[in-house]
Amino acid sequence: MTRRRKRPSPPARGPRRAAGGRPQPWWLVPLVGLLLVSVFFLRVWPRHRPVEATRSLAERLSADEAYKTAITLGRDGHHLEALPYFASAVRQAPDSWTARQSYASALYNSALETRLHLGKAEPITRSSVERITLVRSSMVQSGAADSMVAGARDRAFIAFQRGQMFVTFGLVDNAVEEFRRAIVMDPNNASGIKAIHSLERLLADGGQGE
């Protein structure tokens, strides 16, 4: 009886993959790790950083240092940049009328501050709404300073500055009222006398403020 010859078995293949399975990319694990690290730094780490590191320079300065820095910036024409320093001085010394009045002046000057762009002077603030907000804030700070001052000459100084602000924005009647207040409190205020005479002539001629 003849025996059927056995066929040689096929060569062994590598390990079979599960049906429908695909090999995972080698970069998947490092990517997941990178995402976890990013979440940690964005959500967890900021909570544990020192408070000093997140505070602005203006807030880290003392009231006197912030005030001196703001005055220096204002003298150089950087009124908008000086605002955080004046604000810091006012927060730390809320009873200082000089800090509040200087802050008021800086807010007012920031509304008028310009910069050269393509050879043309343009307002440094973005919109008229922002400038109006600065002027209103200036009036609030000036009013607060006025309520703190005891000396007549100091109150006259505040009234004179407020009058100048009204002149700039064409509010002649308001400006005249403030200049008159300044003269009443300080009859020797030559600047106030000159300003009110000029405005009274303007009103008599039927003119309007600029």
Residue 18 pLDDT: 47
Question: Are 88 and 73 found together in one domain?
Answer: yes
Q: Rounded distance, CA 135 to CA 110, Å?
A: 9
Tokens 């200082």 label which residue? 96
- What is the reported pLDDT for 75? 92
The pLDDT value given to residue 73: 94
Question: Does residue 82 sit in the same domain as residue 102?
Answer: yes
Residues 125 and 176 in one domain: no
- What pLDDT was estimated at residue 56? 83
Domain boundary among 148, 163, 197: 148
Asked if residue 92 lies in contact with residue 66, where contact means CB atoms within 8 angstroms, the answer is: yes
Q: Distance between CA atoms of 171 and 127, rounded to whole angstroms?
A: 20
- Residues 143, 157, single domain; the answer is no
Nearest Cα to 183, choosing from 193, 175, 173, 174? Answer: 193
Position 1 scores a pLDDT of 41
Question: Whole-model pTM?
Answer: 0.65
Q: H or E segment at 110?
A: helix 97-112
pLDDT of amino acid 2 = 42
Token pair of 182, please? 């300044």
Phi, psi of 121 (to 5 degrees): -75, 125
- Please list the ranges in the chain whose pLDDT falls under 50: 1-3, 12, 14-15, 18, 44-54, 209-210
* 21-25-29-30 Cα dihedral, nearest 10 degrees: 180
Q: Is residue 182 domain-shared with residue 197, that is, in the same domain?
A: yes
Domain span holding position 106: 54-148
The domain that contains 166 carries what CATH number? Answer: 1.25.40.10
CATH number, domain with residue 120: 1.25.40
